Chains A and B, each alone.
Chain A
Amino acid sequence: MLHLGLIAALLAAHFLLPAYHHGNLARVMVLASYALAYNLLFGYTGLLSLGHALFFAAGLYGMGMGVQHLGLGAGAGLMLGIASGAVVSALVAALALRTSGVAFMIVTLMFAQAGFLTILHFGEWTRGDEGFVLAQAGRVLWGMDLSAPGTRYLAALVLFSICLLLSLALVRAPFGRVLVAIRENEERVRMLGYDTQAHRFAAMVASGTMAAVAGAVYGMLFGYVGATFASVQYSILPLLWVLLGGAGTVLGPFIGTLFMFYLIDLSSGLTTAYMLIAGVALVGLTLFAPQGIMGEVRRRFWRGLP
């Protein structure tokens, strides 16, 4: 109910918001989809990845390179982006899941860094740090021009709704319950006869693929593909959004993303050192509110909040 309410509110916002915030909210919804993807792995399975930018970028570049260099249409481009995300996350998961805890964090960080550097290395095609702008013609899907603000907003809303409802369904399904149990006590789950390694693998591929969907759609809607999105910063941001909103809650990622987006947006008007906010938030959250906003709500008011 709550979740449908949020979707309805976002739809209403489409007609009410002034242009500036309308554009921002479209961006937030796509980034929140990325955060939802991150939350699947971090919030529900308890695996802290420092390399999700790799999956986001796999989607972004899979789509962007397809449209730019292979001359694919928007639909095929998106598909290519999603497929590359699935492949990359399966590869990384197969290797990284042999480790756990701190080693897992470092391994994912290193893989993502290698991915980022690879994009720079092939600067001839990727245009490296500078990135490239997608041609208008490549951004038309089923006759809809995704670069127009109205369609863009609605497309972002569709993406976000799908990711939100999918997350919700996944968490309520037996599969999701096992993931939560793995987060709480992996050894016990194993001794109940579950193949925890296979569950983790599936969770990581699902999370990575959803991140790639967000990446591909982001590039499609905003027309820009650049290496920044593969950098460490874009691995840290979803962690920050999810921590802020509340890990392991369905609504948390959206709230965290919205909040952080506007904080950074406001402060970047004042200073170039806007990432200071992110740093302070990270330290403050780990110290004082590891549950995040929705986690606190759940703890204090509503224990059944999904």
Chain B
Amino acid sequence: MSLLSVRGLTRDFDGLRAVDGVDLDLPEGEVRALIGPNGAGKTTLVGMIAGRIAPTRGQVIFDGRDITRLPAHRRMRLGMAYTFQITSVFAGLSVAENVTLAARRRVRGAGLVQAVTQALVRVGLEARADQVAGDLAYGHQRLLEIAMGLAQRPRLLILDEPTQGLSEGEIEGFQALVRDLAGEVTILLIEHNMAVVMALAERITVMAGGRILAEGTPLEIHANRAVQAAYLGGGDAADR
């Protein structure tokens, strides 16, 4: 059964159609990558799924429930988490406090400290718990962002370009982390780095021009002519 279903989702910006009638089904437990050239509408699509952007038309169904009209914070409480493309940790607060804010919606009291430590251990930031988040190196801030996502214990984790700006070594660490989570959490991963996508995704959805161009296993997508054409014709990101 699908954890997330999207039906006919459409969004216009000043007469421009950023997302055009997208249907998408995401089964529970899957790691799904969402790829496409710049301007394909990926971020707008997940923005509508997470409730940051109101759709012009269409439906979002989460866990069998129509959530199209729910504000973002209610969707998060239903079991979504969203990590931002641009790092947006709370720069003035400590690392632990960042994660605490994320965890506190779910646990209170004694379990809280444990949940925070768990999330930090998972991304390898436990030694930096007391540092001010703004002082962290960029790669560590991205990891903190993910730790905040984990601390929410989501059923659906949306990662918006999590490896952007990370070093090779950090990317490997990130891959190990996602493999570790697979099966536990459903993951929707927007990613430009094709190596990461090929290594992690069970299935891939390709967007171009606001529509879904193709969907399939990494091998199928790799062989798909239309996908290659879309990248060569309109994109720049195929091998970044």
A residues lining the B interface (CB < 8 Å): 174, 177-178, 180-181, 184-185, 187-196, 303
State whether B104 touches A184 (Cβ < 8 A): no
Q: Dominant SS at the A interface?
A: helix
Contact with A along B44-56 (1 / 0, CB 8 A): 0000001010000
Give 8 nearest A-B pairs by CB, closest first: A193-B76, A193-B105, A184-B90, A193-B77, A188-B88, A191-B82, A195-B73, A190-B72
- Decide yes or no whether B208 CB sits under 8 A from chain A: no
A187 & B152 in contact (Cβ 8 Å cutoff) = no
A192's partner among B52, B93, B97, B101 (CB-CB below 8 A) is: B101
User: Which among A174, A184, A191, A303 is the interface contact of B76 at CB below 8 angstroms?
Assistant: A191
Q: Across the interface, do B93 and A181 meet the contact criterion of CB distance under 8 Å?
A: yes
| B64 part of interface (Cβ distance < 8 Å) | no
Residue of B nearest to A304 (CB): B94
Q: Find the B residue at minimum CB distance from A193.
A: B76
Specify which chain B residues have a CB less than 8 angstroms from the CB of A178 in the assembled complex.
Answer: 101
B72 touches A184 (CB 8 A): no
A161, B118: Cα distance in complex, Å: 39
Contact of B92 among A180, A187, A196 (CB under 8 A): A180
Interface residues of B (CB under 8 A from A): 50, 52, 71-74, 76-77, 81-82, 84, 88-93, 97, 100-102, 104-105, 132, 148, 152
Chain B contacts of A184 at CB under 8 A?
90-93
- Give every chain A residue within 8 A of B100 (Cβ-Cβ): 177
For the complex, give the distance between the alpha carbons of A174 and B103 in Å.
Answer: 11
CB pair A188–B84 under 8 Å, yes or no, is yes
Which residues does chain B contribute within 8 Å of A193, judged by CB atoms? Answer: 73-74, 76-77, 105, 152
Do A194 and B105 touch across chains, with their CB atoms under 8 A apart? Answer: yes
Q: How far is the CA of A187 from the CA of B90 in the complex (A)?
A: 11
* CB <8 Å contact, B92 and A192: no
Other 8 A-B pairs with CB < 8 A, given A181-B90, A188-B84, A192-B76 = A180-B92, A181-B101, A187-B52, A191-B73, A192-B73, A192-B102, A193-B77, A195-B74
Q: How far is the CA of A190 from the CA of B81 in the complex (A)?
A: 11
**B101: contacting residue among A177, A187, A195, CB under 8 A:** A177
A180: chain B residues at CB < 8 Å are 90, 92-93
Chain B residues near A195: list those with CB within 8 A.
71, 73-74
Chain B residues near A192 (CB-CB < 8 A):
73, 76, 101-102, 105, 148, 152
- Within the complex, the shortest CB–CB distance from B86 to chain A, in Å, comes to 10
Residue of A nearest to B84 (CB): A188
List the B side residues contacting A187 at CB < 8 Å.
52, 88
Q: Which residue of A lies closest to B76 (CB)?
A: A193
Taken together as a complex, chains A and B put the C-alpha atoms of A303 and B134 apart, in Å, by: 13
Q: How many angstroms between the C-alpha atoms of A191 and B93 in the bound complex?
A: 17
**A181 CB contacts on chain B under 8 angstroms:** 90, 93, 101
Residues of B within 8 A of A194 (CB): 73, 105
- Name which residue of chain A comes closest to B106, CB basis: A193
Is B90's CB under 8 angstroms from A188's CB?
yes
Query: Please, which residues of chain A bring their CB within 8 A of the CB of B77?
Result: 193
Give bound CA distance, A174 to B37, whole Å.
Answer: 42
